[in-house]
Structure 1
Amino acid sequence: MKLTFEYTWPYERMMNDLYVSECPFCKASNVLTSFKEEQLALAKEGVKQRLIMPCCHGKMTILNADDDYFYTDEKLRARP
């Protein structure tokens, strides 16, 4: 599966916490996730992880991650 921009979502790390600037499902801003460092490390290795957004309980399946983006199995944004 080719991972393209539509299947990505940016995140930010502050101290040991991971935030998304906007929820892809309900559009809430500055959402503190419950995603742990261990989960991020596994995602960076290509181990599928599930992130449940605390604001609306939307579910994101993360196939991979880098230092800036989650790569998911569903389109989260429109093509630029």
Structure 2
Amino acid sequence: MIPFRNSLPYDIQMNEVYASACPFCKMSHVRLPLKPAEIKDLRGGFMKRAVVFPCCRTRLQLIDADDDYLLADRALRPD
């Protein structure tokens, strides 16, 4: 189970990965530099991936994923 405070909701649209909002600058509908195949590799924690948000250039380490959320190595939301 993914801890809610470390999670980031995402969608896949037209073979691109979008976050509903940037957890750092609050910009909405941010396209992430990830491919859907990389999300499959993240599942189960087999691969880790650093992602830089294009809106504010903040780096985030992704360590796991499920069908709806990406799991980061740090808290992205208040408790």
Taking structure 2 as the reference length, the TM-score comes to 0.89
Partner of 2:17: 18
Work out whether residues 12 and 36 of structure 2, in 8 Å CA contact, stay in contact via their aligned partners in 1. no
Q: Name stretches of at least 5 consecutive residues in structure 2 with no aligned partner.
A: none
Partners of 1:66 and 1:45 in 2: CA distance: 8
Superposed displacement of residue 59, structure 1: 1.0
Q: Name stretches of at least 5 consecutive residues in structure 1 with no aligned partner.
A: none
For the residue of structure 1 that corresponds to 2:56, the secondary structure is coil
Superposed displacement of residue 63, structure 1: 0.6
Partner of 1:27: 26
Q: CA RMSD in A?
A: 1.4
Partners of 1:30 and 1:37 in 2: CA distance: 16
How many percent identity over aligned positions? 36
Partner of 1:44: 43
Partners of 2:39 and 2:32 in 1: CA distance: 12
Taking structure 1 as the reference length, the TM-score comes to 0.88
- Number of matched residues? 78
Partners of 1:74 and 1:28 in 2: CA distance: 19
